[in-house]
Structure 1
């Protein structure tokens, strides 16, 4: 190659190197990189807008399905109807008092000696409300009370049932009113509907808890 041609190619190479250096130092960081970042943000915003538009289109269908689910849950007899754990506890106690009053009018042969709400951690799928109950009942009245509690609507459950025989039954007035009474304790509970708040303040245990 002639010296003149070699010099031209060398000059061209130096020019290209200078241009690349100028691009790397001046153009890319000050122009190309910001433009690429802007383009990336534009594409991200476009994708986000597309997702939001799709969600908005599905909103009526989701709302309709949610209403159907709520309607189904409200008609299921298995869940307590109250809107909070506190109200559900009151409802449990009222169901208990009604069952005892029907089994023994005037508490002549069956009486509530204690009903205490308890807070207990549960790993079950649905949260439950529990009341510890203690009764002094005759045998037929106890059977009637338990049947009334477990066969009604909404569904209630009896657990940890303990029965002790006693010589005399002491009625509401504290006087012995019969032979063969039973000292009974058990946990009465029901399940809250999904979505109902289960957090509640600690309640004192004892005869006057409610």
Structure 2
């Protein structure tokens, strides 16, 4: 009887030790990596489902883009076929925007507009850039920047620098007005890529 009792205690202790070994050693070694693999599989399945959903919409997106192009409103590229013509059109558009924001040039004037060479880092899309410097009042500056960045085809303003001036020279007036801003930025747009994907010249 006593021997059976000792055997029962030894078996219980053995089971307890095995249980502790499972909890402390074997379970972290097997269960945690399996849970991590399960989480990765679930994440990959979700990505796969999203990609399949996007691929199913490919035809609809192409039809929509074709419809926009047919209406003439789907392109964000500059209309001119060459960089030279696009640069001239960009400068002309800038002059029109500044003139609209400041009739007779009383609140805003173009100090400088210089075409810049494309740095070649825009990939298959060739960038047409004009470096601009303006002297404008506060309200005129906001109006010009807003008009340029909301224009179609799409135009972008980069490297914007604004310096407050104590006095602002008004063209045609002997007396400068107080305040005003010295504004410099790069204005650019993109030429439509050629059908073969080569950069335009």
| TM-score in terms of structure 1 length | 0.57
* Deviation (angstroms), 1:83: 1.2
* Deviation (angstroms), 1:118: 0.8
Contact 2:87–2:130 (CA under 8 A) maintained in structure 1: yes
TM-aligned CA distance change 1:175 to 1:136, over 3 Å: farther
Alignment of 1:90 onto 2:88: yes
* Deviation (angstroms), 1:180: 1.1
Contact 2:193–2:200 (CA under 8 A) maintained in structure 1: no
Contact 1:163–1:182 (CA under 8 A) maintained in structure 2: yes
Q: CA RMSD in A?
A: 2.3
* Deviation (angstroms), 1:177: 3.6
| TM-score in terms of structure 2 length | 0.60
CA distance in 2, matches of 1:85, 1:72: 24
Larger radius of gyration: 1
CA distance in 2, matches of 1:134, 1:175: 22
- Equivalent residue number for residue 51 of structure 1: none
Contact 2:94–2:148 (CA under 8 A) maintained in structure 1: yes
CA distance in 1, matches of 2:126, 2:189: 9
Q: Quick one: which of 60, 66, 78 aligns to 1:80?
A: 78
Q: Secondary structure at the residue paired with 2:180?
A: strand
CA distance in 2, matches of 1:97, 1:90: 11
- Equivalent residue number for residue 61 of structure 1: none
CA distance in 2, matches of 1:134, 1:180: 17
Q: Which has the higher contact order (CA 8 A, sep 6+)?
A: 1
Q: Quick one: which of 116, 119, 132 aligns to 1:118?
A: 116
CA distance in 2, matches of 1:179, 1:148: 25
- For residues 33-182 of structure 1, the aligned pairs below 5 Å read 75-125=73-123, 126-173=125-172, 175-182=174-181
- Equivalent residue number for residue 62 of structure 1: none
- Equivalent residue number for residue 8 of structure 1: none
Residue-pair matches, total: 131
TM-aligned CA distance change 1:118 to 1:174, over 3 Å: farther
* Deviation (angstroms), 1:178: 1.7
Contact 1:159–1:188 (CA under 8 A) maintained in structure 2: yes
Runs of 4+ in 1 over 6 A off after TM superposition: none
Contact 1:163–1:185 (CA under 8 A) maintained in structure 2: yes
Unaligned runs of 5+ residues in structure 2 are 1-65
